[in-house]
Amino acid sequence: MRVLGSAVLVMEFFVMCFAMLLAKDYDEPSTIIAGTIISILLLLTPGLLKKRTGWILGSILQFLVIGYAVVVPSMAIVGLVFGGLWIAAIIVGRKGEAARAALMATRTPNP
């Protein structure tokens, strides 16, 4: 679960950096500052995915990336795609952890 979530967040970090290149032509410096804060949080959050707070922060960041579409309109589509990947990482990760736990429960210890 952590590996999939980390992959989504790190790839989203790179996309957000490219979105800031587009945002520099639009409006005020505050858009770049907001994008920088979101990007830094996207890069730091994979280290927090060991705990529940990391997953909550990652979910909040998904909404912030979608909200960045106010500045860069194409980020709405990209944000929705990454939001879907985030949900898929949670669902597939839980199934994988459940399967691993079942496998570990049926495994007999070696003498």
Asked, for residue 81, whether it belongs to a domain, the answer is: yes
* Percent of the chain with pLDDT strictly greater than 90: 56
- Tokens at 40, concatenated: 């830094």
Query: 9: domain range?
Result: 2-106
What's the pLDDT at 27? 66
Question: Distance between CA 25 and CA 32 in Å, rounded?
Answer: 10
Question: Within 10 Å of residue 55's Cβ, how many Cβ atoms?
Answer: 20
The domain total for the chain is 1
Asked, for residue 90, whether it belongs to a domain, the answer is: yes
In this predicted model, what pLDDT tens digit does every residue of 4-61 receive, in sequence order?
899 999 999 999 999 888 888 776 888 889 899 999 999 999 999 999 999 999 999 9
pTM of the model: 0.84
Asked, for residue 111, whether it belongs to a domain, the answer is: no
Identity of the amino acid at 3: V
